[in-house]
Amino acid sequence: MNDMPRVMLLIDADNVSADVIEQAVAMVLARHGHLHVRRAYCNAEAAQKQQALFKRLSVRPMVNLSAGKNSTDIALAVDAMDLVIAERPQVVYLVSSDSDFAPLVIRLREKGCRVCGIGQKGKTGDETTLVYDEFNDLQHHAAATATAAAAPKPAAAKRAPRAPRRAAAKPEAPAAAPRAPALPDEVIRILDAVPELLAGGKVELNQAAERLRAARLLGRSASSPKFFNKYPGMFWLTPDGTPNKVQYIGPTSL
């Protein structure tokens, strides 16, 4: 772990949806494999509402009791500077669509951090994205579903009536070729959460377990070796006895 960059994720939970928060944590874990600091800044009402989400994602809620304008943003900025001095992260992710964090981004960069932004699509302006070293806009899934449902459906084209015709003798259908057995849905979800497994490489069990927990496939206190052992012929744990790595040995064509 000493040669891995220290990564910090700070979330403006008053600004983005729970769905985007979950996507942001999964994205950063998929990219780096670890997260040293996970904090979400919000008012007391939001903290209570998102309590289960924060607990599942191992995000520490930083509750702001002040009611003033931008008080949560100010709390995040002050904490960010304290954390950069104390924790010395190489990469800082700010999850917010708010343009008010531009001075903080510039100051963190001066401290030697690479600063990446994550926002909610449709809420982020160009003046926000340009200040970061990198910016990712995530789609709020519920919003996408509502938009699709509200879109008018094209009217079905009317067909001219067909003239009746005589029924022809149906040719005998050829025998269907045998198909390869389909992978269980949960195995497919495991490979989606840990794509390195599909490439045939051995993945550290701790890293795989963190990805599975972020994808809600593995409980917080559940054993990852027992989880993979439920699928004999699909995954192989190494070494025997006290495994610390997992390898996918099932079909490579999904």
Residue 155 belongs to some domain of the structure: no
Nearest to 56 by CA among 38, 43, 70: 38
- Tell whether the torsion through CA atoms of 209, 214, 215 and 218 is positive or negative: positive
DSSP letter (8 states) at residue 19 = H
Shared domain for 14 and 94, answered yes or no, is yes
pLDDT of residue 208: 85
pLDDT of residue 131: 92
Strands of 108-251, DSSP E: 114-120, 134-138, 202-204, 235-238, 245-248
CATH code of residue 18: 3.40.50.1010
pTM of the predicted model as reported, rounded to 2 decimal places: 0.56
Residue 177 belongs to some domain of the structure: no
- The number of distinct structural domains making up the chain is 2
Containing structural domain, residue 87: 7-144
Shared domain for 28 and 139, answered yes or no, is yes
Residue pLDDT, tens place only, 184-228:
888 888 888 888 887 777 888 888 888 888 888 888 888 888 888
Shared domain for 199 and 76, answered yes or no, is no
Residue pLDDT, tens place only, 157-188:
555 556 556 555 555 555 544 444 567 888 88
Residue pLDDT, tens place only, 49-84:
999 999 999 999 999 887 677 889 999 999 999 999
Last residue within a domain, chosen from 144, 176, 207 = 144
User: Rounded CA gap, 206 and 234, in Å?
Assistant: 19
**Residue burial 158-186, b: 16+ Cβ < 10 Å; e: rest:** eeeeeeeeeeeeeeeeeeeeeeeeebeee
Shared domain for 19 and 140, answered yes or no, is yes
